[in-house]
Amino acid sequence: MAEEETWLPEGEEEAENVLLREAIEALRGGDRAQARELLTRLLKANQSDALAWLWLSAVVETAKERQYCLQMALKFDPQNVAARRGLTLLGFLPPDETVVPFPLRQREWEETLKPPVEEQRPRGLKRIWANSLGRVFSVMLLGVIALALVTVGYVRYRAMSHLPARPGGTVAYATRTPTLTETPFTPLPLPSLAGPTPLWMLLPATYTPTPLYINTPHTGIGRDAFRSALSYFQKGDYVQARIQFEQVTTYEPQAVDAYYYMGECSLLLKDYPAARAAFEKAINLNPNFAPAYLGQARALRLINPAADVRSYLDNAVSLDPLYEAAFLERALYFLDQNRYAEALADLEAALAINPNDPLVYLYRSQVQRKMGRNEAALESAEKAHELDLTLLPAYLELGRAYALNERWLDALTPLAVYVQYKTDDSEALTLLGAAYSHAGDYQMAIRHLDRALGLNRKDGTAYAYRGEAYLALGRSKEAIADFKAAVAYQPDNFEARIGLARAYILDGKPGNAYLELLKGETTRLAKTDAQKAALYYWTGLSLEQIGDDSSRQAARREWQNLLALPESAVPVEWRVEAEKYLYGGSPTPSPTKTPTRTLTPSRTPTSSRTPRQ
């Protein structure tokens, strides 16, 4: 690091520098919320801005959040003395003789950030660091630390744009500058989640434009208008940004990037016809401009999800073979069409370009689930979650994958986090209720399943899981009602039909149970050995409880059929009971539990799409 560096890059300011300057000015004016919002926008556009991470560490609320911001600053600038000093002051790094304190030289613009007078620092550290950024940061950090009184739970700040940053200078439209490899970094251990993440830490999961990786050179009035438009765009004022970009085109009719940004603004404003027109103009001006084809494909799909946009996506990929966003969008197009092999191929191509993109792993998990590769789907979901702990849809996908692999206890935590922020997702609430049921917390299961059914009264899977919870609590009448509803909405749900028979047995109505099991639909649905075992076991039990001689004789056939199945398909408890009924003894069956078998939802969890951030 240079001996003296400015707190903003010299020369003509880019939009990012303008945003950083405005954030600093907001902080100087005491508007910490505005400063935090501006820094959040800046980091959303460029995750690797170490300077922005430093300033963000001065406006977050807790020591845990400051720790993470400083770690990110150090990750992207391993020689950053200010970040290292901050982590040392917070106690997350041991004292380092090479990082020395400094006398505070207050400047006029630092007065609003001036902390209480410090006590004299320990002796033994002699070299004085002369970097002005370090002085400003440390003054702010010490003041913030003094005000931090409460520690809350922490989830990593979501800052990655997931797309390569635009390189400086002018480059040809059909070429791309590869993303730079990150400096190897081992993060310090972070505290575990102890409470809800502050909502500002979760960036909106809405459509975010693809960063433009080239800009047309602008001159004169057009340059000023473009800079103004880009500033509005970075601030999220898409109405004014579109007006300004349109003004650029009056001065420079050939400005492809201005038309492209007009299209992006229109997408964000949900003015899809205008977006199409702007992207089409960009394509007409430069047929080799890959981002415009991607924008046009997105606009068409937002107008009509069934639109055939394959040609636009193919053009984007062929014009720029390193365009990760184009591969990802085409993978989503294939996924929506159930063309899983092609979707998986595009996701692998995207991973080859950017192996650290959590969205690619998220979508790969969805594709693998659809292909029935449940273990692989779980690995992908875990990787997506590991790469971005604030990617909210990854919590749902992780819960789904755990459930499909019958790791219900593991599914509890990610699903519980997800529903804290997505309170209207009936599928997530259903899965969480099922996880609580498998964990033995039936009251919590019913509570979440009630919420799920409040959102979707026709969810047969939710009725079936709630019926299981009622059955475990011995509440037979509620269980009967729920299993009946489950069968009505999902006639092919074998487990719900078996559950209804079990509920009748618990309610003292073995005849009704036998009639339910005798139905052709239930017999037809018993295809696997495990399902046949359940059918034989509960049919035999219902006949035994009917109690007359002919019923007991019929029950013997069911027990014999059960014992003839492979041992791996029959729970040990069921086999023991069958042998006692056949050969003597006093079996004590319980209709409230199905040994070693779990209710498998007939509904396959649907894929969800997380727009590119």
Q: Provide the 8-state DSSP code for 568.
A: G
Helix, strand, or coil (residue 10): coil
With 0-12 / 13-18 / 19 or more C-beta atoms within 10 angstroms meaning exposed / middle / buried, residue 121 is exposed
| Residues 16 and 38 sit within 8 Å (Cβ to Cβ) | no
User: What is the DSSP secondary-structure string of 316-371?
Assistant: HHHH-TT-HHHHHHHHHHHHHTT-HHHHHHHHHHHHHH-TT-HHHHHHHHHHHHHT
- Decide if pLDDT at 492 tops 80: yes
Looking up tokens 């809405």 gives: 206
Residue 62 has pLDDT above 90, yes or no: no
CA gap 517, 539 in Å, rounded = 6
The band of 15, judged by pLDDT with boundaries at 50, 70 and 90, is low
Least confident stretch, 178-187, 297-306, 446-455, 601-610: 178-187
pLDDT of residue 31: 82
Sign of CA dihedral 121, 124, 130, 133: negative
Question: Which residues 6+ apart lie within 8 Å of 167 measured at CB?
Answer: 177, 213, 214
Q: Kindly tell me if the per-residue pLDDT of 461 is higher than 90.
A: yes
Residue-wise pLDDT for 326-358, tens only, equals 999 999 999 999 999 999 999 999 999 999 999
What distance in Å separates the CA atoms of residue 33 and residue 294, rounded to the nearest whole number? 35
CB proximity list for 480: less than 8 A, separation 6 or greater: 467, 500, 503, 504, 507
- CATH code of the domain made up of 15-118+127-147: 1.25.40.10
Residues of the chain with CATH 1.25.40.10: 15-118+127-147
Instruction: Using the CB atoms, write b or e for 405-433: b if 16+ within 10 Å.
Output: eeebebbbebbbbbbeebeebbbbbbbbb
Alpha-carbon gap, residue 254 to 276, rounded angstroms: 18
CA dihedral over 285, 290, 291, 297, signed as positive or negative: positive
DSSP helix/strand/coil, 441:
coil
CB count in 10 Å sphere of residue 305: 8
Instruction: Report the pLDDT value the prediction gives residue 216, as an integer from 0 to 100.
Output: 66
The 8-class DSSP code of residue 156 comes to: -
Predicted confidence at residue 25, as pLDDT, reads: 84
Sign (positive/negative) of CA torsion 527, 532, 535, 536? positive
Residue range 238-297, pLDDT digits in tens: 999 999 999 999 989 999 999 999 999 999 999 999 999 999 999 999 999 999 999 999
| 311: CB partners within 8 A, 6+ apart | none
- 3-state SS record for 504-552: HHHCCCHHHHHHHHHCHHHHHHCCCHHHHHHHHHHHHHHHHHHCCHHHH
Task: Tell which wins on pLDDT, 84 or 91.
Answer: 84
Specify the CATH number for 485-583; select among 2.60.40, 1.25.10, 1.25.40, 1.10.3470.
1.25.40
* Buried residues in 81-114 as b, exposed as e (16+ CB within 10 A): bbbbbbbbbbebbeeeeebebbeeeeeeebeebe
Token pair listed for 434? 């099922």
Q: For residue range 571-600, list pLDDT tens digits in order.
A: 999 999 999 999 876 555 555 545 434 444
The pLDDT score that the predictor gives to residue 95 is 60
Tokens at 133, concatenated: 């950024």
Highest mean pLDDT among 90-94, 186-190, 406-410: 406-410
Average pLDDT, the chain: 78
Q: Which amino acid is at 318?
A: S
pLDDT at 508 over 60: yes
CB 382 within 8 A of CB 398: yes
CA–CA separation, 289 and 214 (whole Å)? 10
Torsion over CA: 233, 238, 244, 248 (sign): positive
Alpha carbon of 458 to those of 121, 125, 481, 489: distances in Å? 68, 70, 14, 6
439 closest CA partner among 464, 477, 468, 460? 468
Question: Residue 46's pLDDT band (boundaries 50, 70, 90)?
Answer: confident
